[in-house]
Structure 1
Amino acid sequence: ADPLDVAAAAYVLRPTGWVKLVAAAGEEAQRADAERADEAGRRELERLRDELAEARSLTRTETERLRTELETARREAESLRRRLRSAESDIKRGEAALRRAGTELDGIRAEAATQVSAAESETRRLKARLAEAEAAVEAGRRAAREGRSVEDMRLRLLLDTVLDAAQGLRRELALPPASTRPADAVDAVAPGRMSPKDIAARALSETDPALLDQLLALPQVHLVVDGYNVTKTGYPTMPLEKQRLRLLGGLSVLAAQTGAEITCVFDGAELAAPVLLAPPRGVRVLFSKPGVTADELIRQLVRAEPPGRPLVVVSTDREVADGVAKAGARPVASLLLLKRLSRV
């Protein structure tokens, strides 16, 4: 039974020897309390031992980490010391080089000052000599003008006398104006008249820009240009817009130089919308309609001109060249126009 219950019952009932029972129950209670206290102490001791072991483990881990960081810091400090020593050495070498450069600069400045002084002295001497030479030249000019004025007056008087005498002799003899020359009396065969085609076909290379100049010099000539054929021959890597602007700029200058009528034709069969473009002065710009190629538009332009008018068509397309030649136009290669525009 519980010692406390036994002690309480003995105290209340008071049997024989109840005092001993109460004392024994008290001792048993004290012994149980002591055992419980010992057990709690052992558990607390175990807990403290576990905490101590854990703390020791953490301490060892932290110590190792701190040692590693300390070693890393030592290595970094040593590296920084070496860098510092290297930087100090570089600074010393730089200061020495700077001192040497300063010394050399001072020497160069002194030498330059000496040369400037010598040059100024030479300049003053040359200016003095130049002033003397200008004074001598001016004196010589005055003397020459004075002497030449008298001679000019005498020569002019003699020339006026001769001219008046010749005019009087022409009036006296009533001579008509000369209509023939000595070379007209020489017996020879005169050349026949050259037609515009003969003029254009004289001995010039098909790639000589002078041939195009001759053709554009014909009266009322009309130059028709196959636009994309020329641009893709001369500068194919550029975008189409820049190709058009570059060609039209050159044609505008060519029109201003020659006064010829110029029409530039571009293929517009596949365009979704009209091209926004301000034609340059002196150049007519045309795009073919949907379903019509630029080659066909060029042939229409050639057929629209009256027979006998000089027509020049610029295209490397053999079909276009043959077609316009049959219609009476003069085909020329695109390279010829590019060479001519390169001179603009």
Structure 2
Amino acid sequence: MTSLPAAQREVRLLTKPTGLPALEHFEVVETPVVPPGEGEVLVRNLYFHVFATLRILIAGATQDTPFPVLDPGDTLVGAAIGEVIEAPDGVGLRPGDLVSHWLGWREYALVPSAECARIDRTALPDPVAHLQQGWTAYAALTRGVELRPGDTVFVSAGGSGIGSMAGLIARQLGAGRVIASAGSREKAERLRSELGYDAVVVRGEESLGDQLAKAAPDGIDVYFDNVGGEQLRAAVDAARPGARFVLIGALSGQLAADSTGTTAPVELDSLPLIHKRIEMRGFSSDDYDDKNEWTERFGTWLRAGEITFPHVLVKGIENAPRTLLEVIEGRHIGSVVVEL
């Protein structure tokens, strides 16, 4: 029997913000570590993912989204990787197993065994790589729009956790030209030098439509949309006949300071959609159950040095609230992970 600490730390929502969250809306508290009950396992979390759309859970998800609502006093949630410490007989897991689950933002988690997925330690070179969002990007590019060799691809929020993987995967799948959007000139330069984007358009400089026209003078074939808003409008203008759009997120509304974060309105001219015969599809990788295909392919690419996992590691749960605010502000490139 492993000797357990008396207490563990977790991050809770203290009060609901009006607008974007700030540090005063969170608290790090100590709670007792208790053994698992029937059907539960006790997991010592090693890493958890910090994602910008946690704002939706804090603000209050609408009935049309799959996200739970976080109320004051609730512990934050998110994808986590951990090691099973205690597991009752009959749950199919044993101490020492590496698992993924959704109860991040705490050092120890009591997780229903049915909500834990055992991880093959040999599948990827580094356990933290299991927190990448590459499956979402891969499924969207292979199932959502069926990327074709030679396609010109535009990825909005190309430095985000999903966007950074989408750009890299598009290149691996044979895209001829890959373009990103970024929130600053400095970040744009990093996306070119670190992730290999051919061109990057920058929000807040000259019109996005004009920038995209220069970056893709022959138009775009695929739009991987994390943002919506003006970037979606610019993509419509730049689309070639028969372009395929896959809509993954709507950060323009989800992270807007003057909104609830639960809506993302955009005004589009429908005539170009018709005349260019643009295909536009809302997409969720949850509709597909063949994630093993991605894990095997990603592992092969990683070991061959053909792809990277862009990510930032932040040490210590006490730094997690500040890190969430940085992610919402778009300060980092790739997935942002707290290491415990």
TM-score normalized with structure 1 length: 0.25
- More relative contact order, 1 or 2 (CA 8 Å, 6+ apart): 2
Identify, as 1 or 2, the structure richer in strand: 2
Structure with larger Rg = 1
**Higher normalized helix content (fraction of residues):** 1
